[in-house]
Amino acid sequence: MVIFLAVFLNTSAGCFALEEIKLDVPKDNTFKTEVFENVEDNEIESDLSEPIQRDDIQVPASEKLTDKQVFELGVQDYETLEYLLDDKLTKHFDKGPLSSIGLRGLWRGGMSETFVKGDNHTNFDFNVIEARIHGEFRNNKTSFVISTRYTPQHEFKYMQHFFSDTYIKHKFNKHAIIMVGNTRTHTGQEGAKSDFLLPFANRAQISRQYGNIRKLGVKLAGDFKLMDYDIAYNSSGTYFTSFFPGSEFCGWINLKPLGMTDGRYGKLKIGGGLTAGRRHFDYNTLGAYASYRYKRFKADFEFAQGNGANGRAGLTKTHSNGFYTSAYYNITKKLQLTARFDQFTPNTNDSGHKTREYTAGFNYFIKGQALKLILNYVFREDSIAGNSHRIIIGTQVLL
């Protein structure tokens, strides 16, 4: 593993969105922050296919807060993407249609040991290996991303799974964007999250079933103090297996009741959404989400119900539902404890069959999300397949 990381660290890199934070340090050691609303267009860069949310904004290294300030102000919850090489592999141009172009490399994987019915199985999983090209046009409003994957999946031809985020993005202003291409659908809050921002080694069951999928289409996304939204009209085809087998609508909105309080009472987010479409038959998925964060602590809850689905697990007519609730506590800036209860009913006509997963673990941020270690213990209750125990050791590297 160490040798692999040493080799991998000599590959590609990238950079991410910036929002300036000015820190005023009075002599009495009390701290205040001021978020500038007048961010110039050229100070904001593209951020994969995630909605332009404040949680995903990177703070310049020269203005980052100390551990004490972070915990006192409650502004850090490890949802910022950083890169080890940052702008070293980004080329800037003085002339021509592009102002910059960069290469990024991303890897997430590890090993797991599963114990079920007296047997144990070891699995080494390089589950995400990607290379991305990111370009910014001269107008500082339009950009593009071409992402390629190098982890074949047995259910798809290699080239069907080869492209992931591949799109053109245009910023109308600092709050709103439009994206055209192959992007993540916002089917569930966690289901829409980047692999490299996940707080656990695995997604929750509803996210694995309904979300974690990209589709071709047009997306409008925005972020304001009191709300953020993500609305898309897509082809219902997935992984380039067919061009346009049907259409799909995907909409999600989050409200931020404490958005005008500057974090004094924490951050509260309440939202929900609908994904509905047709691919051989009609399907729809409903979801609801809530989270609260205050200083070192964060908790969230998400529920989803599928009347048929067209997510990462594939196309299905089955009616199902599930939910998860998680808690996170930052012991230090680098060490985060995590716990989650996760339940899923794969067929509501057979409500006696439920699968439950109990997860406990920690994340150790060597260099933010750019270099992270993950340790999870998962106990799974399944009346059909049998109960199992699983220990997962993972890491990720963002260059």
| Out of 25-39, 81-95, 312-326, least confident range | 25-39
Predicted model pTM: 0.80
> Quick one: what percent of the chain has pLDDT higher than 70?
81
Answer whether 53's CB lies under 8 Å from 119's CB.
no
Over residues 105-110, the mean pLDDT reads 92
Give the per-residue pLDDT at 234.
97
Give the per-residue pLDDT at 131.
95
Over residues 65-73, the mean pLDDT reads 46
Q: Is 41 exposed, middle or buried (0-12, 13-18, 19+ CB in 10 A)?
A: exposed
Over residues 59-75, the mean pLDDT reads 45
Three-class SS state of 225: coil
Answer whether 134's CB lies under 8 Å from 104's CB.
yes
Give the per-residue pLDDT at 22.
40
Q: Per residue in 347-381, is it b (16+ CB within 10 Å) or e — as a string?
A: eeeeeeeebbbebebbbebeebbbbbbbbbebebe
Separation between Cα atoms, residue 325 and residue 288, nearest integer Å: 12
The mean pLDDT of the chain is 83
Separation between Cα atoms, residue 99 and residue 217, nearest integer Å: 26
User: Could you tell me the pLDDT band of residue 77, with boundaries at 50, 70 and 90?
Assistant: low
Give the per-residue pLDDT at 124.
81
Give the per-residue pLDDT at 119.
80
pLDDT at 78 over 80: no
- Between residues 7 and 380, the one the model is more confident about: 380
Separation between Cα atoms, residue 267 and residue 285, nearest integer Å: 27
Give the per-residue pLDDT at 76.
53
Over residues 124-152, the mean pLDDT reads 91
Amino acid identity of residue 10, one-letter, is: N
Rounded to the nearest 5 percent, the helix, strand and coil shares of the chain are 10, 55, 35
Give the per-residue pLDDT at 263.
86
Give the per-residue pLDDT at 259.
94
Over residues 300-322, the mean pLDDT reads 95
Give the list of residues 6+ apart from residue 188 with CB closer than 8 angstroms, or none.
Answer: 206, 207, 210, 211, 273, 285, 287, 289, 302, 304
Three-class SS state of 370: coil
pLDDT at 57 over 80: no
pLDDT at 202 over 60: yes
Q: Which residues pair with 321 in a beta bridge?
A: 305, 345
Give the per-residue pLDDT at 58.
41
CB atoms within 10 A of CB 155: 10
Helices (runs of H) and strands (runs of E) counted in the chain = 4, 19
- Between residues 16 and 73, the one the model is more confident about: 73
User: Could you tell me the pLDDT band of residue 71, with boundaries at 50, 70 and 90?
Assistant: very low
Give the per-residue pLDDT at 54.
36
